[in-house]
Amino acid sequence: MNDHPRREPRRGAARPGLWVACVALIALVACKDSVLRSGPVPRALEGEATFVDPCPGYEVSELLGKLYINEIMIVNESAHPDETGAFVAWVEIYNASASEIDLGGVALSDTLSDVNKWVIPCVEDARIAAGGYFIVYLDGDTTNPDDFHASFIPNMTGQTDFVLNGGSDLVHVDLALFGPDISFGRVPDGGSFFGELLSPSPLTGNCPSLPCSVEPVEVEFIRGDVNSDGVVDSLDLDQLLLYVFEDAMLPDCLDPLDVNDDGFIGIADADRLALALGGAATIPGPYPNPGTDPTGTDPFICTLTLEGTKGETP
pLDDT at position 264 = 78
How many Å apart are CA 107 and CA 143, to the nearest integer? 19
Q: Where are the beta strands (DSSP E) in the chain?
A: 41-42, 51-52, 67-73, 90-95, 101-102, 107-109, 118-119, 127-128, 133-137, 159-164, 169-174, 183-187, 193-196, 217-218, 301-304, 310-313
Q: Is 268 helix (H, G, I), strand (E, B) or coil?
A: helix
Q: Are 205 and 188 in contact (CB under 8 A)?
A: yes
Of 286, 262, 289, nearest to 35 (Cα)? Answer: 262
Q: What is the pLDDT of residue 137?
A: 97
pLDDT of residue 289: 93
Q: 224's torsion region: left (phi>0), alpha (psi -120 to 50) or beta?
A: left
The CATH superfamily label for domain 215-314 reads Dockerin domain (1.10.1330.10)
Q: How far apart are CA 64 and CA 60, in angstroms?
A: 9
Regions in the chain scoring below 70 on pLDDT: 1-61, 208-218, 247, 249, 252, 296-314
**Which amino acid would we find at residue 242?**
L
Q: At a CB cut-off of 8 Å and minimum separation 6, what does 3 contact?
A: none
Neighbours of 17 (CB within 10 A): 8
pLDDT confidence of residue 226: 93
Class of domain 64-196: mainly beta
Give the CA count within 13 Å in the CB-facing half-sphere of 220: 7
Q: How many CB atoms lie within 10 A of CB 208?
A: 11
Asked whether the CA dihedral 255, 259, 260, 266 is positive or negative, the reply is negative
So where are the chain's domains? Answer: 64-196, 215-314
